[in-house]
Amino acid sequence: MKLALHWKILIGMALGALLGYIMTSQGLAQFVKDWIAPFGTIFIRLLKMIAIPLIIASLVKGISDLEDIAKFSKIGIRTMLIYIGTTLVAISIGLVLVHIIQPGNNVTEETLTELLAENGSSASSKISNASQQMESGPLQPLVDIVPDNIFNAMSNNGLMLQVIFFVILFGICLLLVSKEQAAPLKKVFSSLNEVILKMVDLMMLYAPLGVFALMANLVADTKRPDLFIALLSYAMTVFAGLLLMIAFYILVVYLYTGRKPGFFLKGISPAQLVAFSTSSSAATLPVTMERVEEHLGVEEEITSFVCPVGATINMDGTSLYQAVAAVFICQALGVPLGFGEIIMILATALLASIGSAAVPGAGVVMLIIVLESIDFPSELLGTGIAMILAVDRPLDMVRTMVNVTGDAAVSMIVGHSSGQLHYPQARELNDYYKK
């Protein structure tokens, strides 16, 4: 029997973690970094390499296939409203959990001292990056969406929102010209899209090996696991919130579209696992789009818009983490929070999630901005950030998985509301899905 892709990736993750642990225990962590980790780096580079071409080809094709600007605007508004709604739900879940569990009360002075010594320099770097962003004007995020050089934007995955802006404008203009003039370009982008999707299929054959290498390197690179235990209550609070968010997606998809949890999870699980191992929504985007379209049954014109936009502005996992982390830091350092500060955290976390880059570690920089919005004492900021950096990497992996799951769920909701959601055809599990 042919093994499903998500099982191959899971096996690769497990074997990679096991190998990383064995090699580290034998003092061979450097061997893992030199001879195994590069294969994981190659996998991430392959995914990032294809992300921008995939957005350009699929988004232009998707918009041009609509043949109606009114239909495009309706889909766009619906997508944005749903993304804002799910982000508010995520932040609310995080705030409720952190106030119920109160993980900050479990951190001792000794642990704080160790964390500051271990992560103080990294915290200073993050604070410096956040300070540069806060010095910009209030409308700078809006300015940053518009590229001054589209070719420069296409060469930097961190500027993906600029690429999306250009491509949407290009697609709209393609609708405005006559069908005769648009026809040759539509054929080019249609063919380009098929070729890019075939490249994604080929890359996924390499996914189990790439994930194996990434997990082996992650375990070999883990320092001071004792500090992870000291922050276990905080980590478990974030983890519980993220699991609740996935359950929320599954419930909404089931109630609104009628698709059962097994259908949804089987369809998106390979993208979830790639997101978990890479900690990057942008790198996972090619896999997400392929799974949503080919395995969840969302039409391409919906997938090509909702998924790229979601990879850049829909950071439900990140916003939940920022809410929990902000309150946790205040609890641990004895900074009081009133109702006004809680509302400010909710509002700032919502805006920060939209501006957060779809790359590993960006959430920490946005967390600093959230803390600054409630006038958090500057002399304690370094300690607070150092405290959460010790467990940021594993939590980053899980929250990226939640971000990707949210993109898939919203794609199905928008697809269903637009009449463009169906059961995938010619799939070996199609009969099971319909049961």
Number of structural domains the chain divides into: 1
Amino acid at site 161 = L
**Cβ pair 321, 94 in contact under 8 A:** yes
- Dihedral sign, Cα of residue 190, residue 196, residue 201, residue 207: negative
Beta bridge partners of 421: 298
Instruction: Give a yes or no: residue 102 inside a domain.
Output: yes
Beta bridge partners of 298: 421
**Cβ pair 278, 210 in contact under 8 A:** no
CATH of the domain at 157: 1.10.3860.10
Which of 331, 426, 343, 427 is closest to 387 using CA atoms? 331
Instruction: Give a yes or no: residue 103 inside a domain.
Output: yes
Q: Which residues contact 58 (CB under 8 A, 6 or more apart)?
A: 193, 196, 289, 300, 303, 304, 308
Instruction: Give a yes or no: residue 193 inside a domain.
Output: no
Helix (H) or strand (E) holding 269: helix 261-278
SS3 (DSSP) at 298: strand
Instruction: Give a yes or no: residue 25 inside a domain.
Output: no
Amino acid at site 126 = K
**Cβ pair 164, 59 in contact under 8 A:** yes
CA atoms of 31 and 217, how far apart (whole Å): 10
Phi-psi region of 424 (alpha: psi -120 to 50; beta: other; left: phi over 0): beta
Tokens of 431: 């009969």
Amino acid at site 364 = V
Chain Cα centroid distance, residue 417: 24
Burial class (CB in 10 A: 0-12, 13-18, 19+), 223: exposed
CA atoms of 293 and 302, how far apart (whole Å): 9
SS3 (DSSP) at 36: coil
Instruction: Give a yes or no: residue 149 inside a domain.
Output: yes
Instruction: Give a yes or no: residue 280 inside a domain.
Output: yes
**Cβ pair 43, 206 in contact under 8 A:** yes
- Looking up tokens 């949407």, which residue turns up? 168
Phi/psi of residue 421, each to 5°? -125, 125
Per-position pLDDT tens, the chain of length 435: 577 777 888 898 889 989 988 998 888 889 999 999 999 899 888 888 888 888 888 888 878 777 667 777 888 889 989 999 999 999 999 999 999 998 888 776 766 676 666 655 555 665 665 555 556 666 676 788 889 999 998 888 777 778 888 988 998 888 888 888 888 998 998 898 889 888 888 888 888 998 899 888 878 876 555 556 667 888 899 999 999 999 999 999 999 999 999 999 999 999 999 999 888 887 888 999 999 998 999 988 888 889 988 887 888 988 898 899 999 988 888 888 888 889 988 888 887 666 554 444 556 767 877 887 788 887 777 777 877 877 777 888 898 899 999 999 999 999 999 888 888 754 444 444 444
Instruction: Give a yes or no: residue 401 inside a domain.
Output: yes
Instruction: Give a yes or no: residue 73 inside a domain.
Output: yes
DSSP letter at 3 equals P
Q: How many CA atoms lie within 13 A of 229 on its CB side?
A: 3
**Cβ pair 266, 385 in contact under 8 A:** no
**Cβ pair 196, 53 in contact under 8 A:** yes
CA dihedral 278, 284, 288, 289 (to 10 degrees): -170
**Cβ pair 404, 245 in contact under 8 A:** no
SS3 (DSSP) at 274: helix
The residue segments making up the domain with residue 395 are 68-177+225-433
